[in-house]
Amino acid sequence: MEPIIKIIAMPKDGNADGDVFGGWILSMMDLAGGTYAKKVARNRVVTVAVDKMVFHKPVFIGDCLECFAETVKIGSTSLTVKVDAYVERKSGGDKEKVTEGVFVFVAIDQDRRPVKLSI
């Protein structure tokens, strides 16, 4: 898997108890998957599906989230990407896998219509 993004969870990304919102984690994973898919497709892409999201462990304010991506499948206009998210805890320790998911992206043209991938 290729490392794509690394970001620290800030207070605005979580609740009053210090737990990071699942939606924030999902958005970071979508950002990582889309960045990776655009690079592989060499084209503009949009997210069309998120499948098999699993939250294994919580993420806390101050943890450093890192997302990794790899190609699962290439279709005629779509690209399926697996994204794994790990954290480095602000308190130290080993990197832990916290979330994983499968994202499907479709390559589009300037008019937002699907286009064939030339991979």
- Return the structure tokens found at 55: 């939250």
Phi and psi torsions of 30, nearest 5°? -65, -40
Q: Which domain holds residue 25?
A: 2-107
pLDDT for 49: 98
Residue 118 lies in a domain: no
Residue 119 lies in a domain: no
In CATH, what number is assigned to the domain containing residue 66?
A: 3.10.129.10
Residue 14 lies in a domain: yes
pLDDT for 91: 86
Residue 115 lies in a domain: no
> pLDDT 10s digit of each residue in the chain, 119 long?
999 999 999 999 999 999 999 999 999 999 999 999 999 999 999 999 999 899 999 999 999 999 999 999 999 999 999 999 999 998 888 899 999 999 999 999 999 999 999 88
Q: Are 47 and 33 in contact (CB under 8 A)?
A: yes
Residue 16 lies in a domain: yes
Residue 68 lies in a domain: yes
Phi and psi torsions of 40, nearest 5°? -70, -45
d(Cα 28, Cα 93) in Å, to the nearest integer? 22
d(Cα 6, Cα 76) in Å, to the nearest integer? 30
Residue 92 lies in a domain: yes
Residue 39 lies in a domain: yes
Q: How many domains does the chain have?
A: 1
pTM over 0.75? The answer is yes
pLDDT for 86: 98
pLDDT for 88: 96
- Return the structure tokens found at 18: 């210090």
